[in-house]
Amino acid sequence: MMIESRLNNIFDQYDQEENRVTNAFLQTLAKNKSLLKSFLSRYFGTKLGKRDSVVISYQKEPFGLGDRDEDREKIEGIPDGWIIIDDKIAIVFESKISRNAVKKSQLEAHVKRIKGYSQKHLCVITPDEASPIANIHLNEVHACWISWKEIYGFIDQSELSQGASEYLREQLKEYLAMKEDLVGFQGIVYPSGVFNPREAKIIIKNLIREIKPDILKVYPKLKYEREKFSSDVHPYTVFHRSTWSFLGADSYFTKDIHVTFWLAGTHIGMGFTIPNGAKDRWIRLKKIFADDQLFDLFISKLFKIREKTPNLYLEFVHRHFLRRRDGVVDGILEMDIDTINGGKKVKANKLWLQTLREIVKNKEGYNGQFMIRTRYFYKDYPETKKPAFKSTVIKTAYALKDMYDFLCET
């Protein structure tokens, strides 16, 4: 039996997103003694004994003062949370969900609130890549910065707990991972249990943002990515449902060749797309497919890519549009390049390549799109569920570079 949850995360209660995230973390610490002890020991050098008294407090009530946009300037001096140990040790929290948002005046106001304690700590949690408090000097307080990504790693690597405590821990991991650009790419894991566009959109956006700096090292022109995502299902679609994005040389990506990434229920895929509007690329592609030597060179380059990828497909789609909006697919041809020579899982059939070659070189007067793509099926690649899988995506993009240069020749 498979159940897909459409319920909100249990932490998704506060009006302000920033308050929701902070509350989620403190709630989890409050309900998991082992996690709390580990957190205090690792970041503040505090060891808890059996007789120690710990009070964890959150300063903003749901839908109360400080939980609305119009209240933000009024309550900047109120910390996001406290941990008080034996009325001697005080840890005051300031959290942000946006980068470069920390203000020195705000931190100074928090420190004043704990001046009566013998040990004073300030914990700043943000999504910044480097410490936003490195150059902020605060008297008589130990200031500690932790990124939300590190918080996620701390929660993820902690020992498993029992019952409700473990449920909260898993909910917090899910909640942090589903906040765009907060903890970054943490693997392809759908919290609902099955693929859905809402979760897939966040996963793919986080993935592209993390790999983009490395991609630009070899594809410096491909700096544009998809900005708007729609969950609408096309009324005439015959494709498997997926959530996709791209890195292209223009915000209007259909003008030229681009790298496409997509998430589907069974796999993550990536590869090159030559859209119908990429006129120069189509001149080059038709020339390659019409010339025997160039075509042989094209095939040899494909096999070099295949050596570094789990599979490789060539796809051609012919379509037309009703009312310039609703695309109707008139024909699709997709072939595994292993059909050229055959393999362990694929039988040889050279007619696929011959057919595709004829279609491409004779394309004229209609909307046609050509793709070179590979897929990492979740079933065969469980590492897709881990953050380190982004390295595999980067390596695959690098493996495609020679083909990109070949297709871009004039």
Confidence of residue 4 (pLDDT cuts 50, 70, 90): very low
| Among the ranges given (169-178, 371-380, 383-392), the one the predictor scored with the smallest mean pLDDT | 169-178
* Identity of the residue numbered 183: V
Element (DSSP H or E) covering residue 293: helix 292-306
Residue 358 has pLDDT above 90, yes or no: yes
Query: Could you tell me which residue, 375 or 87, shows the higher pLDDT?
Result: 375
CATH 3.30.930.20 residue spans of the chain: 197-407
Residue 3 has pLDDT above 50, yes or no: no
- Tokens 């609902």 sit on residue: 192
Confidence of residue 1 (pLDDT cuts 50, 70, 90): very low
CATH architecture of the domain with range 17-177: 3-Layer(aba) Sandwich (3.40)
pLDDT digits (tens, 9 = 90+) for 20-65: 888 889 989 988 889 999 999 999 999 988 888 898 987 655 545 4
Please name which of 238, 404, 240, 236 lies closest in space to residue 322, comparing C-alpha atoms.
236
CATH 3.40.1350 residue spans of the chain: 17-177
Confidence of residue 72 (pLDDT cuts 50, 70, 90): low
Mean pLDDT of 62-81: 60
Instruction: Sort strands 242-248 and 258-264 into parallel, antiparallel or unpaired.
Output: antiparallel
SS3 of residue 4 by DSSP: coil
CATH architecture of the domain with range 197-407: 2-Layer Sandwich (3.30)
